[in-house]
């Protein structure tokens, strides 16, 4: 999982948090056992529908990242939910099975809300789901964040990770030495490329190459990086360099 995917998931969780905060008056109404108006019931239904939509979207992003695209067929909502509770070869699942049945209730209620009038939805059933909603979201969020932490690629680089900065091609040749084979090049765009090779001691070397107005410059790292991380690095580096020139 890369940082773009992580950001998408975190954004979806944040939107769900905001949805819950926006409907705080519904939680108070249920807690005080007040009789809801038709408008209150509409809001409660919207809360449940948006709540489950958000969870489903976040989980779908995770499954797509794993190469499991579940968006086909009439039962894909159920298939998606079952998949995130499946135990993998390591005895792990994305979500904890302890609240699987409860999430099924939210999915079922969402379906009823989508295809029924508000007055046809039993308030007592809605009320029970509202009571548990915050706890269920807390559990789902914790499990998703745990999954992210275990699967995020540690490929971020920053300016302090740069071991050497070469401003001439001959200096790069000095770094490479007599190596003429085994150099892998990955071109990110017309100005930025990554070079990967092993030095004379067999150690992995990663070089970020940037084309400038006067030639090329090279940044030497001892750990791997991806395109997003490399471009972000260069943005920060070039910005800091330009800021220094203005001074």
Q: What's the pTM value of the predicted model, to 2 decimals?
A: 0.62
Residue 156: the pLDDT is: 66
Strand partners, 192: 210
How many residues appear in the chain?
247
Residue 111: the pLDDT is: 92
Strand partners, 193: 187, 209
Among the residues of the chain, which ranges form H helices?
Answer: 3-22, 24-31, 38-65, 76-85, 100-114, 123-151, 169-176, 227-246
Separation of alpha carbons 13 and 210, rounded Å: 36
Widest distance between CA atoms in the chain: 81
Question: Residues of CATH 1.20.120 domain(s) within the chain?
Answer: 3-151
Residue 153: the pLDDT is: 64
Domain spanning 3-151, CATH architecture: Up-down Bundle (1.20)
DSSP-derived letter for residue 46 is H
Q: With beta carbons less than 8 A apart as the criterion, state whether 129 and 48 touch.
A: yes
pLDDT band at 72 (very low <50, low <70, confident <90, very high): low
Percentage of the residues of the chain whose pLDDT score is greater than 70? 87
Residue 247: the pLDDT is: 44
Whether 177 shows a pLDDT value over 70: the answer reads no
More confident residue, 8 or 154: 8
Whether 189 shows a pLDDT value over 70: the answer reads yes
More confident residue, 17 or 87: 17
210-247 tens-digit pLDDT: 998 888 899 988 888 888 888 888 988 888 877 755 54
82-129 tens-digit pLDDT: 888 886 666 678 888 888 999 999 999 999 999 999 888 999 999 999
Separation of alpha carbons 84 and 76, rounded Å: 12
Separation of alpha carbons 196 and 145, rounded Å: 32
Burial class (CB in 10 A: 0-12, 13-18, 19+), 188: middle
Q: Which helix (H) or strand (E) holds 123?
A: helix 123-151
Separation of alpha carbons 233 and 239, rounded Å: 10
Residue 194: the pLDDT is: 92
């Amino acid at each position: 999982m890369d940082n773009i995917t992580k950001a998408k998931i975190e954004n979806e969780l944040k939107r769900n948090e905001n949805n819950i905060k926006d409907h705080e008056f519904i939680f108070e109404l249920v807690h005080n056992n007040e009789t809801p108006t038709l408008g209150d019931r509409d809001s409660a239904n919207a809360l449940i529908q948006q709540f489950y939509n958000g969870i489903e979207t976040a989980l779908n992003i995770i499954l797509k990242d794993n190469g499991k695209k579940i968006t086909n067929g009439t039962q894909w909502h159920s298939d998606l939910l079952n998949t995130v509770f499946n135990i993998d070869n390591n005895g792990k699942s994305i979500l904890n099975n302890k609240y699987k049945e409860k999430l099924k209730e939210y999915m079922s209620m969402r379906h009823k809300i989508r295809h029924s009038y508000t007055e046809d939805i039993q308030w007592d059933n809605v009320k029970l789901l509202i009571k548990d909603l915050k706890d269920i979201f807390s559990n789902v969020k914790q499990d998703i964040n745990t999954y992210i932490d275990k699967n995020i690629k540690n490929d971020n680089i920053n300016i302090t990770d740069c071991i050497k900065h070469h401003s001439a091609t001959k200096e790069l040749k000095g770094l490479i030495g007599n190596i003429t084979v085994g150099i892998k090049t990955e071109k990110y765009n017309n100005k930025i490329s990554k070079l990967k090779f092993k030095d004379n001691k067999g150690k992995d070397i990663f070089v970020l190459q940037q084309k400038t107005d006067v030639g090329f410059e090279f940044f030497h790292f001892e750990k791997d990086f991806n395109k997003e991380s490399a471009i972000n690095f260069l943005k920060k580096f070039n910005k800091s360099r330009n800021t220094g020139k203005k001074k």
